[in-house]
Structure 1
């Protein structure tokens, strides 16, 4: 799989046409999971993962995507 370029940087994906559907699922998780959003907000200022290299796996839940963002 060859890297692709975007305004946000380089990425490797199997099927970029699924990006819109994935974004909608992430937004739905944000709306339906206030506890998850509270956890994300709690770490926002402290940036506990700043400088860490984060990788996704073949099996990533939308909840994991919300936390990575």
Structure 2
């Protein structure tokens, strides 16, 4: 649909129009993908947050020569 709308425009204008129209779609896709990744590894969005906290604590322990 985007290509049909921009047919006949100069190259620079086509590029700008593609970027303008796809930016919101990419942001939406990125949000969706981040949520899916959380559930993939931790079972839920809240599980992802708990996992991030756990990894942070373990990393801090290792940096301070503490055996977690």
TM-score over 0.5 for the pair: no
TM-score, with length taken from structure 1: 0.31
